[in-house]
Structure 1
Amino acid sequence: MALKKSMSVPQGVVLAICTIIGSGLLGLPGLAIEAGGVAAAALSWPLTLMISLPLVVIFLSLSLEVQDSGGVARYAALALGNWAETAVSLIFAFTFMLCIPIGTYMGCIYLQKIFGLPEGAAVWLAFAVLATSTLVNLIGLRPASWINVASALSLVLLVILFVSAQPHLLGAGLNAYEGYIADWNQVSVNSLWTVSAILFWAFLGWENLSFGSGEVAGGRRAIKAIFVIGFILVTAIYAALALVATGAEASGISVHGVSGLLNLVENSPLASLVYGLIILVVLANVNAWVFAASRLIFSAGSARILPGGLGLLAPNGMPRNALIFMLAVYLVLCLALHWKLFTVTQGLMLANQNFIVIYLAVILCYFRFNRSFGARLIALAAVASSGFLVAGFGWTLIVPLVLTAIGYAIDLRRRPDPASVV
């Protein structure tokens, strides 16, 4: 049975904003400055935008040509064969296991600051948020579409409030940008790479729109409108935040670290509203992430990519085993973050690396479907962009490569024995 084409353009744009901009956005400006300095962070925002642009064009093109709920995994199969679909599904599963606790932990650092709790309380807040979201999903309270709308509007309003709290920072940011652009050669390539590898997290999510392209009402024109309008709005949000963060640092206001943006609204009459919106965004985003991840793990269990028990449903129709398994993974990784076994920055970069490896298969699929001169230029630009980011990763590249090998082995094991075929 085919999925219904019931998604309107406004719903698709809201989905794009919710998918691409999450509560992790709140931590990225401060993390970027902390990792490479304010000049490298300022230059890396537009650089990362340019890096992501050819990939957005490719996902738009493939969403028009291959409207399949398999999304990126299906693109990989078309480019390289069925084994690639299994491998990509496995890499996605691993990356979800990593992304959700990192995003939740980043959001809970904000909650810890808002509630005035000790520094170590962030991990317990993360436990509570993840457990509550899992429980909500276990009893079948699927987030309705209005939650996505509320989350998207809250994110947009948050950025507006950060800007309006100290509006002079926009001008300060523009002036600072003029200086950084003029002296761009004073920033090392290594710093630009480091910050871009972190900020790439902000531009992930366009691939997820491919999963729902078959449900868009209005055909090709509607799909194009969702991508174009979504890209314009997302870019505007990021541009405003980058200018404010740059202007704040140039004005002597530190926004370093995951929760650095809170310094913009301290002692402001807007503070209470900002705090309330941050709480709403964190809770809504985690709830949506937990829902999506449980379905991914359930699907992988059903396909025997992961243990088959994860592909079983509870009597109420919920993927109980997948939800409980993923909660255990989330809690372990939150503890690992709390104990500093790895940092938020390291986790972000590992997740981004996995996505870049997946994107290489997507680029190949695009090239197979589009052989025009313009398409080849876009594919070349996407390869160059992905190559710039991949070049700086070291031994951690073994992670997606091992997962790819495991995916190939799983697919090989599931193939019928030629001797048994009559």
Structure 2
Amino acid sequence: MSLKKSMSVPQGVVLAICTIIGSGLLGLPGLAIEAGGGAAAALAWPLTMLISLPLVVIFLSLSLRVQSSGGVARYAAMALGDWAETAVSLIFAITFMLCIPIGTYMGCIYLQNIFGLPESSVIWLAIGVLSVSTIVNFFGLRPASWINIASALSLVLLVVLIVISQPDLLAKGTTAYRHYALSLPDVPISSLWTAAAVLFWAFLGWENLSFGTEEVSGGTKAIKTIFAVGFVLVTAIYAALAVVATGAEASGLNIHGVAGLLGLLDGSPLAIVAYPLIVLVVLANVNAWVFAASRLIYSAGRAHILPSFLGHLAENGMPRRSLAFMLVAYICICTALHLGLFSITDGLMLANQNFIVIYLAVILCYVRLNRSLFARLIALLAVASSLFLVAGFGWTLLVPLALILAGHQLEQRRRLRPAALAS
């Protein structure tokens, strides 16, 4: 049984925006400044945008070649063999289990600040948002799309409100950017790397579109439009936020921490409008990631990489079992985060490094499936950007490498099993 082709171009563009931009919208600018300093954080924004561009081109190219709910994992199988699909599926499953609860938890810190609730309420808000997003996905693409559309409009309006609440920050940010660009040689590479590694979280999600291409109606032209329009809109929104955040930092305003730019709205009459928009943005971002994760888990179950019961569709064509399975995993990770077993920044770094290792595997797939000079140039740029980010992770890179080895061993055992039964 296959997923239905019911996703239109507007729905796909909205899904792209909601997947890329969401829970980290307000917090990441401040977290990047905390991690690398004002100059490094400002310069890391355009750097990270450039780093993401060749990767977007690669995901688009592979999505045009094959439309499957297996997404990136399926590309790996085509280029490297079944063992690669198993390995990539395992990495993605673990990474989704980690990054979706972290993103939700970050978003719920905004909600806790907005409603003036005690810090202990964040865990319950996170569980509530994850549960609502899962239930919405239970009922199909249409109800989820309405939430995404409302959120996409909210995103644009929210950025506009932040800009007009502090109109002088755009001018100050532009001036600060000119100063930082001239002083680039004085910015330590380590600080620039740290800020870029944090901001890379803001650009994750293009790979998630690959999990939804099986449901896109309109063929390759529709997929091209979704990627192109989505990238332009995402870049425009982030560019505006980068200038505002730089202006705020240059003005001495405190935008540090997960709540970040939320502080710019304190005392503003626009806050009463902005706060409901933030709630919608958080819900839709979680909704979009839950959508992508459920398709990956469903595909892995269908391919018997994960337990086969996860590869089952309900009567309405939705992968309800994979949605329910992942909800349990999300709640467990949120609980661990709430209990202080690991920090948000540590979780961001771990998730980011897993994605970067996956990206390196995807680049290899792209090169093996595309032999043109243009493809090799794009791959070279993508490798350079990925290696720049990989360079600072250190021993924690053993985590995705161990998952790759586990995937290879699992596939070997799966191959030996039929032979043993036959003998």
Tell me how far apart the structure 1 counterparts of residues 298 and 214 of structure 2 sit (CA, whole Å). 21
User: 1:87, CA displacement in angstroms?
Assistant: 1.0
Q: If the length of structure 2 is used for normalisation, what is the TM-score?
A: 0.91
Write the deviation string for residues 112-152 of structure 1: whole angstroms up to 9, x where unpaired.
Answer: 10011223322232233234444555688973322221121
Contact 2:136 2:144 in 1 (8 A): no
User: 1:320, CA displacement in angstroms?
Assistant: 5.8
Write the deviation string for residues 187-244 of structure 1: whole angstroms up to 9, x where unpaired.
Answer: 1111111111111111111122223345544444433332222111111000000000
Amino acid at match of 1:65: R
User: 1:405, CA displacement in angstroms?
Assistant: 1.5
Match of 1:73 in 2: 73
Tell me how far apart the structure 1 counterparts of residues 242 and 407 of structure 2 sit (CA, whole Å). 39
Aligned length: 422
Instruction: Return closer, same or farther for 1:59/1:320 CA change in 2, 3 Å cut-off.
Output: closer
Match of 2:406 in 1: 406
Tell me how far apart the structure 1 counterparts of residues 372 and 298 of structure 2 sit (CA, whole Å). 39
Match of 2:327 in 1: 327
Match of 1:250 in 2: 250
Match of 2:48 in 1: 48
Match of 1:175 in 2: 175
Contact 1:143 1:287 in 2 (8 A): no
Amino acid at match of 1:289: W
Instruction: Return closer, same or farther for 1:286/1:211 CA change in 2, 3 Å cut-off.
Output: closer
Match of 2:237 in 1: 237
Contact 2:70 2:295 in 1 (8 A): no
Tell me how far apart the structure 1 counterparts of residues 135 and 372 of structure 2 sit (CA, whole Å). 50
Amino acid at match of 2:179: G
Contact 2:70 2:299 in 1 (8 A): no
Q: Comparing 194-203 with 116-125, which one deviates more in the overlay? A: 116-125
Helix, strand or coil at the partner of 2:58: helix
Tell me how far apart the structure 1 counterparts of residues 215 and 48 of structure 2 sit (CA, whole Å). 30
Amino acid at match of 2:377: L
Match of 2:337 in 1: 337
Tell me how far apart the structure 1 counterparts of residues 224 and 306 of structure 2 sit (CA, whole Å). 35
Write the deviation string for residues 160-210 of structure 1: whole angstroms up to 9, x where unpaired.
Answer: 111111121111100000111111122111111111111111111112222
Q: Give the superposed CA RMSD.
A: 2.6
Gaps of 5+ in 1: none
Tell me how far apart the structure 2 counterparts of residues 264 and 288 of structure 1 sit (CA, whole Å). 27
Q: Comparing 282-291 with 138-147, which one deviates more in the overlay? A: 138-147
Match of 1:160 in 2: 160
User: 1:60, CA displacement in angstroms?
Assistant: 1.8
Amino acid at match of 2:297: I
User: 1:355, CA displacement in angstroms?
Assistant: 1.0
* 1:150 to 2:158 alignment: no
Tell me how far apart the structure 2 counterparts of residues 137 and 75 of structure 1 sit (CA, whole Å). 25
Q: Comparing 236-245 with 223-232, which one deviates more in the overlay? A: 223-232
Helix, strand or coil at the partner of 2:386: helix
The aligned runs of 1:19-418 (5 Å cut-off) are 19-134=19-134, 143-311=143-311, 322-415=322-415, 417-418=418-419
Tell me how far apart the structure 1 counterparts of residues 248 and 235 of structure 2 sit (CA, whole Å). 20
Amino acid at match of 1:371: R
Q: Comparing 15-24 with 161-170, which one deviates more in the overlay? A: 15-24
Q: Comparing 281-290 with 259-268, which one deviates more in the overlay? A: 281-290
Contact 1:30 1:260 in 2 (8 A): yes
Instruction: Return closer, same or farther for 1:317/1:124 CA change in 2, 3 Å cut-off.
Output: same
User: 1:357, CA displacement in angstroms?
Assistant: 0.9
Write the deviation string for residues 4-57 of structure 1: whole angstroms up to 9, x where unpaired.
Answer: 655443332222112211222222111111111111110100111111111111
Amino acid at match of 1:355: F
Instruction: Return closer, same or farther for 1:58/1:163 CA change in 2, 3 Å cut-off.
Output: same
Write the deviation string for residues 333-371 of structure 1: whole angstroms up to 9, x where unpaired.
Answer: 223222322211111111111111111121112112222
Amino acid at match of 1:346: D
Tell me how far apart the structure 2 counterparts of residues 31 and 411 of structure 1 sit (CA, whole Å). 40
User: 1:419, CA displacement in angstroms?
Assistant: 6.6
Tell me how far apart the structure 2 counterparts of residues 18 and 76 of structure 1 sit (CA, whole Å). 26
Contact 1:79 1:361 in 2 (8 A): no
Tell me how far apart the structure 2 counterparts of residues 313 and 373 of structure 1 sit (CA, whole Å). 42
Contact 1:38 1:249 in 2 (8 A): yes
Tell me how far apart the structure 2 counterparts of residues 129 and 79 of structure 1 sit (CA, whole Å). 37
Write the deviation string for residues 288-318 of structure 1: whole angstroms up to 9, x where unpaired.
Answer: 4334434433443444323445456779987
Tell me how far apart the structure 2 counterparts of residues 123 and 420 of structure 1 sit (CA, whole Å). 48
Amino acid at match of 2:176: A
Instruction: Return closer, same or farther for 1:70/1:129 CA change in 2, 3 Å cut-off.
Output: closer
User: 1:378, CA displacement in angstroms?
Assistant: 1.2
Helix, strand or coil at the partner of 1:269: coil
Contact 2:87 2:406 in 1 (8 A): yes
Tell me how far apart the structure 2 counterparts of residues 400 and 18 of structure 1 sit (CA, whole Å). 26
Amino acid at match of 1:374: F
User: 1:104, CA displacement in angstroms?
Assistant: 0.9
Contact 1:142 1:291 in 2 (8 A): no
Contact 1:79 1:362 in 2 (8 A): no
Tell me how far apart the structure 1 counterparts of residues 219 and 295 of structure 2 sit (CA, whole Å). 26
Helix, strand or coil at the partner of 1:412: helix
Q: If the length of structure 1 is used for normalisation, what is the TM-score?
A: 0.92
Tell me how far apart the structure 2 counterparts of residues 320 and 221 of structure 1 sit (CA, whole Å). 30
Contact 2:357 2:400 in 1 (8 A): yes
Instruction: Return closer, same or farther for 1:257/1:388 CA change in 2, 3 Å cut-off.
Output: same
